Amino acid sequence: MELPSGWAAAELGELLREPLRNGHSASRAKGCDGIRTLKLTAVTLDYFTEENTKVTSADPLRVKDLWLEPGDILVQRSNTPELIGTSALYNGPRNWAIYPDLLVRVRVNSCLTPNFAALMLRSRKVRDYLKANAKGLVGSMPKIDHSAIAGIRLPVPPKAEQHRIVAALEGHLSHLDMAALALESARLKVIAFRKSTLLSFVPERVPESWEMSTVGEAGTVELGRQRHPDRHHGTDMHPYLRVANVFEDRIDTSDVMEMDFSGIFERYRLQPGDVLLNEGQSPHLVGRPALYRGTPPNVAFTNSLLRFRSRPDVLPEWALIVFRHHLHARRFMREAHSSTSIAHLSAQRLRSVEFPIPPVEDQKRLIAAFRKLVRDADAMDRTLERTIAQAKRLRSLVLDQAFSAQLVPQDPAEEPASVLLDRIRAARESQGRSKARPIQRPRLQASAPPPLSAATSLPVNAVQLEFEL
């Protein structure tokens, strides 16, 4: 791609004021207490407050070069594939915080303004480049080498044009950010509406025509079959569902495993209308229910799930509404017992949970009304999701235009970026030559005193000169 007039191109390594530096895991070292260390999420959020730091202790000698100053850019060198390469401009107090070892500090030289450099590093092309150059073993978080970060090729406009681009971008991006916040707020309202719908459809005080029963009285509750390595092969293999397949009102069939059910398949075979609930989950998700509607066919379930099969006068979809209500009302959380971070809902405890049963005709009416409200909420959520995706694409488009001289006017009278780059390169080469030049020792004159012999003693206050190598 041809560069605009007055622009130059250079790798990030040429545009650095000092070498790239990883952070330091300060919490692992003993030393000075009360040092503020940025959390990794601070870069994801792109703003820096005390909530995004933690107070740790660190060896002052190991962190003496890791203090941050305004204008530093931090890049995530390791994270999930979605977040790796995320960067942010540090705008916190000077000498206020150090940064963890999963971040790389970038300090640019006078060819780039820090604001312009930070915006470029957040562009889609740079993020794609960093993701493509991340390395790592399967199952581990990928990492980006310093060489890959230094190899980012960036367009360099004249300095004055950089300021104009930043000013224009900040205006456009602030409007996009405000729109994104409004869209996210609307999505939260849709989620709250869906939750309030679930809570309102199952009242705490039921009408007189309803029966207040328990789960065990409204149907049967059974635990699935336990998995075992010996059952990975056998003569009666069948697919089975486990906790990883069952989400709220959705069964994921993309990863269904098989197990031997010789002689007992019918006992664990699912029938359309069965409701599956997570037996073991994180506390706020335990009891998460989904209705089995016959897909995949001829499938069983394991003991990470509970199966509820309703009696004839309880419609399966009403049972699903009741269980979703209990999930969001945290009724299952109160009933479950926890071990570490996992909560378990036993069959016995589930059977004792209250289960209101309206007359069948009322169940049908409530199910139809509930379906309509959920469809409307889902439609709004999908629309908001598409709009948020469009806003992200528009953000990338604005950044692409900014870095191809299409966002602000150019001024031919401004000093081309190549001139400034050449001056910095020349100064760097000159500095390198001066460091590499051998030390010139003065020649001895005839009138000079003879050199000291090995036996000659030096005065005790002699000073040894140090020369820059």
First CA to last CA distance, the chain: 42
pLDDT digits (tens, 9 = 90+) for 289-336: 999 999 999 999 999 999 999 999 999 999 999 999 999 999 999 998
Kind of pairing, strands 257-260 and 97-98? unpaired
pLDDT at 160: 92
Q: Quick one: how many helices (H) and strands (E) in the chain?
A: 13, 23
pLDDT at 443 > cutoff 50: no
Kindly list the distances between the CA atom of residue 273 and the CA atoms of 123, 163, 261, 268, 291, in Å, as whole numbers in the listed order. Answer: 49, 63, 22, 14, 6
Kindly list the distances between the CA atom of residue 130 and the CA atoms of 24, 393, 401, in Å, as whole numbers in the listed order. Answer: 22, 19, 20
pLDDT digits (tens, 9 = 90+) for 236-249: 899 999 999 999 99
pLDDT tier, 455 (very low <50, low <70, confident <90, very high otherwise)? very low
CA angle 155, 158, 159 (to 5 degrees): 110
Q: How many angstroms separate the CA atoms of 70 and 191, rounded?
A: 38
Order of strands across the sheet that contains 73-76: 21-22, 103-106, 73-76, 87-89
pLDDT tier, 1 (very low <50, low <70, confident <90, very high otherwise)? low
Residue 310, strand partner residues: 219
Q: How many angstroms separate the CA atoms of 112 and 145, rounded?
A: 22
Lowest mean pLDDT among 78-92, 269-283, 354-368: 78-92
Long-range contacts of 350-354 (CB under 8 A, 24+ apart): 350/215, 350/216, 350/221, 350/277, 350/287, 350/306, 350/308, 351/214, 351/215, 351/216, 351/221, 352/214, 352/215, 352/216, 353/214, 353/215, 353/326, 354/212, 354/213, 354/214, 354/215
DSSP calls for 235-299: SSEEEEE-GGGEETTEE--SS-EEEE-TTTHHHH---TT-EEEESEE-TTTTT-EEE--S-SSS-
pLDDT at 469: 28
Q: Would you say 235 and 249 are in contact if contact means Cβ atoms under 8 Å apart?
A: no
Q: How many angstroms separate the CA atoms of 353 and 258, rounded?
A: 32
Q: How many angstroms separate the CA atoms of 406 and 424, rounded?
A: 27
126 CB neighbour count, 10 Å cutoff: 22
Structure tokens of 27?
A: 């919490």
pLDDT digits (tens, 9 = 90+) for 34-81: 788 888 888 887 778 878 888 877 777 777 788 898 999 999 998 888
pLDDT at 230 > cutoff 90: no
Over the range 72-107, which residues count as b (16 or more CB within 10 Å of their CB) and which as e? Answer: bbbbbbbbeeebbbbbbbbebeeebbbbbebbbbbb
